Amino acid sequence: MSFVSTIRQWDDGVAHADRGDLASALRVLASVEDINSKIFFNIGCLNLINQDLDAAEKAFDDSIRKDEHLAVSFFQRGITFYKKLKFEESLGDFRNAFTELRGNQLIDYNPLGLRYKLYACEVLHNVALTYAQLGQWEKAQENLLTALSLKTEAKHGHIDQALESVLKQKLFDLVQIQPGALFRPNKHVVAELEKKDYLGKAKVVASIIPKDDFSGFAPLQPQVEEAPTQQRTPEVLRALEGKPHSVLYEFLAETDKELTVLPGNIVFVLQKGADNWASVFFNGKTGLVPCNYLEPIEITLSSKQGLAEDGNPKPIPAPPRAEPPSRPEDTADPSQKPKGPNEENEMCIVKVQFTYTIAICTEIGLPYSAVLQKISKKLNQPMQAITLSYRTAACDRVNVDEVEMQNVWRSLQGGRVTLWCSVSEDKENMLQSLVAIHTYEGAQPEDLQFCKGDVITVLSKVNEHWLEGACNGKVGIFPACFVE
């Protein structure tokens, strides 16, 4: 299906939904041949309005499969699991939505066609509610305290009410996306789909033919009495650079210097080397082909017209020999050849999602212990307290060990791979604690405020003068000279 057809059906389906005809909207959107993540999101939202939770769950699954970083799809699937009373699955999706916010306080989806802002504090509000449903009231309280620190607007007063309910061990309301919020195609693209008549209707102004009203692109012409009897002389084709050769056997290129050709192709040899390799020009490209795969031919005007020199049609040529000759050895310097994907010393970028995000450059194929050691040194955390995980093609989170590390390297895409890092509770008790000797009020949003005598847990060292730590449920940076 073309891009134009997809946009038309997408816009038509959203128009049905705006009129309240959800059945027609689902039918039109489901008939799109190449459904993207946004259309799957719309299908899930419409099924959620119809209370068809199984269909909604499947649609959000497909949306996440198409775009594994679409935080709002994780958020909606978490709401679907919550309504199906699957609180463990709901908690996982809400936490994934918070992870995909990547430390931002909100994501405004309006530039992408969805009139909705996903706030980090609202996601944590739902995380706390699922913890409360599981009876883990302390974790519910911790998430609500973090949500309070991330509030950006006065409309988030429901978080304060939720905290009061948690202190009384009572449940509170779930934050949901308002019905009717759907991804819409770009209105400028939709407007361009309308047919426009730029030329208008043609009109005959003057003609040498009486009563001529023909208004096409080729007006009628007067007929001549005598037509020329001599045939037009065919044009002489431009001679190509190089000598023409016919390819006898199929040759598949193995390096970027070689050129793939098939039997029957006509190539033009630019130069023949002493190593039995020929530099040829074919189909707009230049590359190397073995000389014994080629046979010189002569191109004349009759051969270009498909005729033999006597004027008769050319006979069908005999087929080539069954076995092609052996490939000549490449005498080029091997040190100049590009390394393949499995050769040693090839580097990649490992992106690690922690309380903050880091990136390390390492060799592909290193064992798990070596990768863990690099990450431990970068995060300034003990190795025994770190747990690494990665996301499979099915969007499942799997912990990494020595065996699973091989699958991590196989999932490498574009020289990059993403890992998630978590620290055990025992590790948190092992973190270095410092006491504030001065009060620090902070001047920037990322600063950590504390009073004299507060105990601060150091998370990492920013530089010689600044540290990152946690105090009173908040995380930020502070001057190292203010603590001891």
Q: Give the pairing type, strands 243-247 and 294-296.
A: antiparallel
Q: Is 131 helix (H, G, I), strand (E, B) or coil?
A: helix
Grade residue 236 by pLDDT with cuts at 50, 70 and 90.
Answer: very low
Residue 110 CA, chain-centre distance (Å), reads 19
- CA nearest to 240, candidates 258, 266, 214, 219: 266
- Do 448 and 384 have their domain in common? no
Asked whether 63 and 70 are in contact (CB, 8 A), the reply is yes
- CA nearest to 265, candidates 238, 235, 285: 285
Cα angle for residues 413, 417, 418 (degrees, 5° grid): 135
**Can you give the residue range of the structural domain that contains 78?**
3-187
- Do 153 and 290 have their domain in common? no
Q: Tokens for 299?
A: 């191109």
- Lowest-confidence range among 211-225, 227-241, 404-418? 227-241
| pLDDT tens digits, 15-26 | 999 999 999 999
| pLDDT tens digits, 98-138 | 999 998 989 999 898 899 999 999 999 999 999 999 999 99
Does residue 202 form part of some domain? no
Above 90 in pLDDT, residue 41?
yes
- Do 406 and 473 have their domain in common? no
Q: Which residues contact 443 (CB under 8 A, 6 or more apart)?
A: none
Dist. CA 433–CA 71, nearest whole Å: 35
Does residue 230 form part of some domain? no
CATH of the domain at 123: 1.25.40.10
CATH of the domain at 411: 3.10.20.90
Look at the chain and report how many structural domains it folds into.
4
What pLDDT does 81 receive?
Answer: 94
CATH of the domain at 269: 2.30.30.40
| pLDDT tens digits, 303-317 | 555 555 555 655 655
Q: Tokens for 419?
A: 């890992």
Q: Give the pairing type, strands 347-353 and 416-423.
A: parallel
Q: Is 300 helix (H, G, I), strand (E, B) or coil?
A: coil
Above 80 in pLDDT, residue 453?
yes
Above 80 in pLDDT, residue 341?
no
What pLDDT does 338 receive?
Answer: 42
- Do 19 and 130 have their domain in common? yes
Does residue 130 form part of some domain? yes
- Do 157 and 36 have their domain in common? yes
Does residue 332 form part of some domain? no
- Do 392 and 469 have their domain in common? no
Helices 37-49 and 3-18 sit at what angle, rounded to 10 degrees? 20
Measured in degrees and rounded to the nearest 5, phi and psi for residue 363 equal: -80, 145
Higher-confidence residue of 328 and 36: namely 36
Higher-confidence residue of 147 and 325: namely 147
Dist. CA 156–CA 125, nearest whole Å: 10
Helices 137-149 and 158-167 sit at what angle, rounded to 10 degrees? 150
Grade residue 335 by pLDDT with cuts at 50, 70 and 90.
Answer: very low
Above 60 in pLDDT, residue 369?
yes
Provide the mean pLDDT of the chain.
Answer: 81
Helices 53-66 and 71-83 sit at what angle, rounded to 10 degrees? 160
Does residue 149 form part of some domain? yes
Asked whether 128 and 82 are in contact (CB, 8 A), the reply is no
Q: Tokens for 322?
A: 């069954």
